[in-house]
Amino acid sequence: MKKIKAIYATTILLIMILSTLAVCSSSSTINHEEELIFKEEHSPLASRHFNQIPRHLVLIYDGGAHRSIRWDSKHFAPYVSADVNGETDWLFDGFLFLEIKDGQGRGFASGYEKMPARKTEWENLLHNYFSKGNAIHALNEQIGNIRKDSNGNKGFTKRKIVLSLPEPIPGQVDWGTLDGRPLLFSNKKDRLDACKWYINYAEELFQNANFENVELVGFYWLAEEATNSRDLAMDVASYIYSKKYDFYWIPYFNSDGYSEWEKLGFNAVYYQPNYFFNESVPYERLQETCNRARKFQMNLEIEFDERALKNNKNWGYRLHDYLDVFERNGVFDSLKVAYYQGGDAFYRLSHSKEPADVELHQRLIQLITKNKE
């Protein structure tokens, strides 16, 4: 009997130990899961999109006279593909073409220049994007070059193009004429008509180009705050949606209206942490941005520029901070990511021989190629 009791007691003890271990293991799993605040592999409001939203959207600033970068096919090469484990792999699946000013005194949104851009500047911007050998044509060409290789079509889908839409700045009186009448931007209808004209013209230029490797999927509202857009953005959105495009927006941290993006009419939205640009901005800003993105169902933006390079400011550590925090929160698994790179910092990283730059570039490549649709 004592032997039976001893066996029984031992059995009970083993059960208790195993139960404790199971609880500890379960707790460990829960704690790990809790670190990932983005757990579901879907984009916010995915069912409300007219096109697939790019998983990795890179910003290409081009069109102003102050720009010195020539966006030809060679310059696009490191954005289109990379060698990964001995094979060519596709990189960014989305390209946002945008410009904030013409470089000659006129701005495409409020706050950049004293004088607002006119119809002629809006038109010249589009002509730049659709000029042969530059911008979209050059990107399309470089993609075609890769597709000619033996494995060039493996996993290929058309790269997605998003075009910036200038802000019709309130109060402007010299924008120009439309259908024989001068537009006055104190009038909401005139502001909307200017946007419709731009969208129609961009669509016409894109269709006439007959690109084989890229597709137009949306328009981007250049104004990063809602201050001048509250009575207009929804009407612009309705027109964009009637044409089966998506309406993109990337408000800055604490931007006026950032949490109201859905009410404003946007359906593809990224939130800026604004951490990279000033060393006084604390590391905690990145987690706070993730928390807000989760709360308000927004995607996120990574930010860096040429100061990330070793021989410049050596701020590569700040870009690593973005990647660390975003990985820890499951951003790359669950959300779409936009990449602000200043002028062409990604290109510069790809051509740098500095070990720190090579490491940073390789980390970006691994994240982009690993996390695809």
For the chain, 373 residues long, give each residue's pLDDT as a single digit of tens.
Answer: 433 334 344 443 343 333 433 333 333 333 444 467 776 544 444 448 999 999 999 999 999 999 999 999 999 999 999 999 889 999 999 999 999 999 999 999 999 999 999 999 999 999 999 999 999 999 999 999 999 986 767 889 999 999 999 999 999 999 999 999 999 999 999 999 999 999 999 999 999 999 999 999 999 999 999 999 899 999 999 999 999 999 999 999 999 999 999 999 999 999 999 999 999 999 999 999 999 999 999 999 999 999 999 999 999 999 999 999 999 999 999 999 999 999 999 999 999 999 999 999 999 999 999 987 6
Asked if residue 198 lies in contact with residue 132, where contact means CB atoms within 8 angstroms, the answer is no
Q: Give the pLDDT score at 16.
A: 39
Q: Give the pLDDT score at 36.
A: 72
What is the number of other CB atoms lying within 10 angstroms of the CB of residue 242?
9
Would you kindly state where each structural domain of the chain is located, as residue ranges? 1-35, 41-370
Positive/negative CA dihedral, 121, 122, 127, 130: positive
Sequence-ordered strand ranges (E) for the chain = 56-61, 81-84, 87-90, 94-98, 106-107, 115-116, 159-165, 177-178, 181-182, 214-221, 246-249, 268-271, 299-303, 337-340
**Second-level CATH architecture of 41-370:** Alpha-Beta Barrel (3.20)
Q: Give the pLDDT score at 5.
A: 37
Asked if residue 60 lies in contact with residue 96, where contact means CB atoms within 8 angstroms, the answer is yes
Asked if residue 106 lies in contact with residue 117, where contact means CB atoms within 8 angstroms, the answer is yes
DSSP single-letter state for residue 195: H
Query: Rounded CA gap, 137 and 364, in Å?
Result: 25
Asked if residue 185 lies in contact with residue 119, where contact means CB atoms within 8 angstroms, the answer is no
For residue 161 the two structure tokens come to 């193009």
Among 245, 322, 338, which residue's Cα sits nearest to residue 290?
A: 322
Asked if residue 195 lies in contact with residue 240, where contact means CB atoms within 8 angstroms, the answer is no
